[in-house]
Each structure stands twice: as structure tokens, then as C-alpha cells.
Amino acid sequence: MEKKSVTILLQSGDLDKALCAFIFANGYAALGIEVKMWFMIWGYNCLKKRRGLFSRRPKPDPAREAAYRVLETDNYLQPMIELLNRGGAGHLPLSRLNLMGLGPLLFGRMLKKKNIMTLEELIRSADDLGVRFKMCQICFDAMGVSVDDLIVPNVEVKGVSEYARDTMAAHVNLFI
């Protein structure tokens, strides 16, 4: 029997949607199905390391990032969006009932009380189970993301052609 595969694309930067995406990824991977997770514009937020407001984020290493980031066309907008869009799995907003930041705290308490895994645990467990993480290159470049700054060590940066091939070969494609 041919091996089944699944793609999940996370475009939303909300806590509830990211939780759904990673629960599915873990579920499919645990059943032995090959999972490829894609991340687009706001999807990177759940993978970023949370830094303080004034901490110096390491500059992207030109040799390593040259393949994915066109550093010559960076202007003032990239640092600005890095400042405003710090992200981090523990600091995502909710899509509804955000209550100016109170929503995610209450939501987190609710999940913890019921012993449900947190988003960071789900991400690491997905990595352990062999889920492949891929990112969209143009959004990666435009939003000023750096590959070294993510909590998952091996992330591939690919284009839309790879996405098209992955989805055509997959049995289930999700857009979250």
C-alpha cells in the first residue's frame, strides 16, 4: 500500500488555529502518515523565539541566509515588523475573545487545568515525530524572519512549486 501523505498550511497567527494545526500534525504523524507543514505570512509567529523588546536579535548571517533572503532590498520596514511582530508560541493572540491580551491567559489556564499539551510542547513533539517544516520564501524574506531564530532546528525554505507538488501528491490538504 502506498504511503499516505498530508500537507497542513498554517497562515494564521492565532493561538487557537495554531493549536488545531499542530494537533492535526501530531495526530497524523503518530498514525504513521507523512506530514509536511507549511508556514506562510503570520504562521511563522508560532515558531519564533520570543525575545525582549530591546534585545539585539542576531543579524542574519549573510553566508547562510544568502540563499533565502535578499538582504540588499531590506529597508526600514523589516526591523519595524520584527519589532511589532515578535511572536513566540506562548504569546499568540486568540482569534476571538482576545480581551486585550487576557484571552490567551485564560485559555492557557483552561488547557492546563485539563492537562492538554501547550503549543510549544506540541511543536517539539511534532518535530520528534518527524514532521517536516517548510516555509514560504517570499514571505520569509518580506517579514524579516531568520532561520537561526526559530525553536525548531531544521526548517526548509521553499517556493510555491514545491508546495504545488506536495499538495498534488498528498491525500489531505489543510489550509488553516
Partner 1 sequence: MPVAMVCKAAYTVVEVLIGNVRAITGEESVQVDREIDVVGRSCPLPLITLAKEVRAMQRGQVVRIIGNDPIFEETVVDFCREGGHELLETTRSGKVVSMVIRV
In the complex with partner 1, the residue whose CB is nearer, 26 or 146, is 26
Element (H, E) at 145: none
Nearest distance, CB of residue 44 and partner 1, angstroms: 23
Phi, psi (deg, nearest 5) at residue 161: -65, -40
Interface residues toward partner 1, by CB under 8 A: 23, 26-27, 29-33, 114-117, 122, 125, 128-129
Strand partners, 135: 39, 157
Q: In the block, which residue shows the cell 535578499?
A: 70
Task: Give the shortest CB-4-to-partner 1 separation in angstroms.
Answer: 9
Cβ atoms of 37 and 156 within 8 Å: the answer is: no
Shortest Cβ distance from residue 42 to partner 1 (Å)?
24
The smaller minimum CB distance to partner 1, of residues 33 and 41, is found at: 33
Specify burial of residue 125 (Cβ count, 10 A radius: 0-12, 13-18, 19+): middle
Q: Report the residue number, 27 or 103, with the smaller CB distance to partner 1.
A: 27
Nearer to partner 1, 117 or 151 (CB): 117
The minimum distance between CB 111 and partner 1, in angstroms, equals 9
Rg (CA), the chain: 17
